[in-house]
Each structure stands twice: as structure tokens, then as C-alpha cells.
Amino acid sequence: MTKLTPRMKNWIEGLGAHIGTATKKGFPTTIVVESVKVEGDNIVKVQLSEAQVSQIKQNISENPQVALGPGGLGSIRAAYQFKGVAKIESTTLVVEVKEIYCTKPGPEAALRLDILPYENIIKFESTRWRDTGPPK
């Protein structure tokens, strides 16, 4: 099962995410949130505004597939992408992450991380980045 690392959690909990959604025919809409909450190994919960719910609820109802990229400084420093399925519960977007990719430009762009043993993901991170989350 997919499991986010502490570094991944720190970045998206600290600086939020850009969340891509789409109609089932592939017309994309992106929303941006300033923080999220990671629960367990791979559940990301996002508190939405009424306007955000209104903007994406049709997309989520007809096509639950979403993609998340870390926001702010994480756009570059936390080069991950999380893909999964989502549902909206009241004003909370609940995402079950099913795939994790490295998006660092270069030869490892699009490398799928969640298929690696967890300890190998940790090792991968420690040899690519110096931080464990956004600056305090």
C-alpha cells in the first residue's frame, strides 16, 4: 500500500498543494490550498472553501481522479506528485493517494516511487535532498 514519507507529509502539510481535477472527458481545473492534513499512511484531507467545493464538485463526482503537487516553495524543493482518488465530504476533500512520483527535472523525472520498498524511498530522498520539510 502507498505510504507517504515524513518529508512528503511535512512539505504538503506545511505549504499545501496545487490539486488537479478534471471532467471525465479530460477538461482540467486546478485549485490551490494552503495546507492539508495527512492521516495514516496515504490519506490526504483538504479543507475547502465553499467556492472551491462549487468549482470542483462536478469534476469529482464524475471523475474522482486527482493529482497533487506540493505548493509554494515545495513546487521546486519537494519535487513529488501524488495521484489518487478523491471524494468530497461536506467541505473536505478526502484523497486516497495511490501513486507517488518524483518530478525532479532530469533523468529521474516521472520516476514512480510508491513501487519501491519504503526504506528505499527514504534512502532515495536522503540522497537527493538535504531538508526534511519546508523552512520553519
| Residues near other proteins (CB under 8 A) | 18-34, 48-49, 51-52, 54-55, 63, 65-77, 79, 81, 83, 103-107, 109-110, 128-130
Which of 2/55 has CB closer to other proteins?
A: 55
For residue 16, the minimal CB distance to other proteins (Å) is 10
Which of 33/38 has CB closer to other proteins?
A: 33
Q: Output the CA torsion sign for 75, 76, 82, 83.
A: positive
Q: Which three cell numbers stand for residue 136?
A: 520553519
Which of 10/21 has CB closer to other proteins?
A: 21
For residue 122, the minimal CB distance to other proteins (Å) is 17
What is the C-alpha to C-alpha distance for residues 83 and 31, in angstroms, rounded to an integer?
A: 15
For residue 37, the minimal CB distance to other proteins (Å) is 16
Cβ neighbours for 54, distance < 8 A, ≥ 6 positions apart: none
Which of 1/110 has CB closer to other proteins?
A: 110
Angle ∠(33,39,40) on CA atoms, nearest 5: 145
Q: Which three cell numbers stand for residue 112?
A: 514512480
Residue 33 pairs with which residues in a beta bridge?
17
For residue 70, the minimal CB distance to other proteins (Å) is 7
